[in-house]
Structure 1
Amino acid sequence: MNDSSPPLPWHVIRQDDNGNRYRVGRYATRAEAEKVVAGLEARGHKQLYWVEHLERRTV
């Protein structure tokens, strides 16, 4: 991500049956991320999904 990219601090995370975690996507707002989680959960998959907020790091 470069400095001109919009910040996408809200991440949707998926955990599978074996405990492996994956980032599904990055979003600008919590509402966007929660909408994605709701859509994924509505499909009936048994994976666990949640939203995390990650602060942008400066170097």
Structure 2
Amino acid sequence: MNDSSPLLPWHVIRQDDNGNRYRVGRYATRAEAEKVVDTLEGRGHKQLYWVERPDRRTA
């Protein structure tokens, strides 16, 4: 399995205070990924989290 696997197409991305971006995890559904974002944001950290689905044609 590689990063463009269709089984886990939704990524949670985190951006730190310096603008560095990291993939936090990969999920099967957008709803599952958004739930993770909600949990992470609820911890009170000032990090920016979002859900994205990378274009499989460029991955």
The TM-score normalised by the length of structure 1 is 0.84
Match of 2:30 in 1: 30
- Counting matched residue pairs gives 55
How far off its partner does 1:23 sit? 0.1
Structure 1 alignment gaps of length 5 or more: none
- Secondary structure of the residue aligned to 1:24 is strand
1:7 deviates by 1.1
TM-score by length of 2: 0.84
Q: Letter of the 1:28 partner, please give it.
A: A
Unmatched 5+ stretches in structure 2: none
Letter in 2 for 1:37: V
Which aligned runs of 4 or more in structure 1 are off by greater than 3 angstroms? Answer: none
Deviation at 1:55, TM superposition (A): 4.0
Indicate conservation of the 8 Å contact 1:11/1:26, yes or no: yes
Instruction: Say what the alpha-carbon RMSD is for the aligned residues.
Output: 1.6
Q: Which residue of 2 aligns with 1:51?
A: 51
